[in-house]
A and B are shown apart, each in its own frame.
Chain A
Amino acid sequence: MICVQSAPFDLGDIANRFAVAQAGAGAIVTFSGVVRGDGGLLALEIEHYPAMTLPAITDMVDGARARFGLLDAWVIHRYGRLTVGEMIMMVATSAPHRKDAFAGAEYLMDYLKSRAPFWKKEHHRDGAAWVAAKDSDEALLARWG
């Protein structure tokens, strides 16, 4: 399941639904990204490219499943205006063993960070600025070859 949505999601509910759907999995990993309150951040505005987002994430999920032998992988990613403490996104992966479930989740996170068409704008009391991509994120992506 891949969802690109503005609405909040219930991590516990999704994690449970994912878990019960994974017959045969010995390992399930979930990761969720949260809006940090660094430097007086008031809100995070997330823009995306609707026509490209779903196909791009589908390719990433297919890549992760093939590479790590995942049994399944779900991705939820939000867009719109989010406030501090809100969950931005989550990934869930399942595999026969934990190593592949963790690696699959990391792979998906690295790709979502740098190759899914989302852009974040930080709103502060004194104005707003687009978040610049980090070289370190590209380096993380490069390790997957």
Chain B
Amino acid sequence: MITVVYFAWLRERIGTGREEIETQAKTVAQLVAELSAQDSYHAAAFADLRAVRVAVDQVLCDFDTPIAAAKEVAFFPPMTGG
């Protein structure tokens, strides 16, 4: 089981901020492919990955980051703090 969380327009497009899923994905990219195949909402949210950032266990990382030991993967747009 892995927790996947979404923020900002990804959360709105997918329709939830948090889901627990069973996955065989070994990397973030594989997880994205699995989620995108799930339904059109996920597919729409992940349509352009240049607009998506990812954190694994609350640390910013890349799409080729391994997630075998991860508890939480977060997807969100580029941050706009400050």
* A133 (CB) vs chain B CBs: closest residue: B78
Given contacts A47-B7, A117-B7, contact A77 B58 (CB under 8 A): no
Q: What is the CB-to-nearest-CB distance from B50 to chain A, in angstroms, rounded to a whole number?
A: 12
Q: How many A-B residue pairs have CB under 8 A?
A: 71
Q: Does A49 contact B (CB under 8 A)?
A: yes
- Within 94-140 of A, Cβ neighbours of B (below 8 Å) are at 109, 112-121, 130-133
Chain A residues 1 to 60 lying within 8 A of chain B, measured CB to CB, are 33, 47-49, 51-52, 55-56
Residues of B within 8 A of A33 (CB): 82
In the bound complex, residues from chain B placing their C-beta under 8 Å from that of A82 are none
With A49-B5, A49-B74 known to touch, is A55 a contact of B58 (CB < 8 Å)? Answer: yes
Summarize B's interface: helix, strand, loop or mixed: mixed
Taking the closest CB of chain A, its distance from the CB of B75, in whole angstroms, is 10
Task: State whether A130 touches B8 (Cβ < 8 A).
Answer: yes
Q: A92 at the A/B interface (Cβ < 8 Å)?
A: no
Answer yes or no: A89 CB below 8 A from chain B CBs. Answer: yes
Are B81 and A114 interface neighbours, CB within 8 A? yes
How many angstroms from the CA of A89 to the CA of B72 in the assembled complex?
Answer: 28
Assembled-state Cα–Cα distance A129/B76 (Å):
15
Q: Provide the residues of chain B in CB contact with A55, threshold 8 Å.
A: 58
B74, A133: Cβ atoms under 8 Å? no
Asked whether, in the complex, the Cβ of A52 is within 8 Å of the Cβ of B55, the reply is yes
- Nearest to B82 among chain A residues (CB) is A113
Question: Is there an interface contact between A115 and B79, defined as CB atoms closer than 8 Å?
Answer: yes
The B33-68 residues at the A interface (CB cut-off 8 A) are 55, 58-60
Q: How far is A119 from B77 in the complex, measured between Cα atoms in Å?
A: 8
Report the minimum CB–CB distance from A2 to chain B (whole Å): 13
Cross-chain contact B80 with A112 (CB below 8 angstroms): no
CA distance A113 to B74 in the complex (A): 19
Residues in A neighbouring B74, C-beta threshold 8 A? 49, 52, 117
* Residues of chain A contacted by B11 (CB below 8 angstroms): 47
Question: Which 5 A-B pairs have CB atoms at the shortest separation, nearest pair first?
Answer: A133-B78, A113-B82, A118-B81, A119-B8, A52-B58
Chain A interfacial positions (CB closer than 8 Å to B): 33, 47-49, 51-52, 55-56, 77, 88-89, 109, 112-121, 130-133
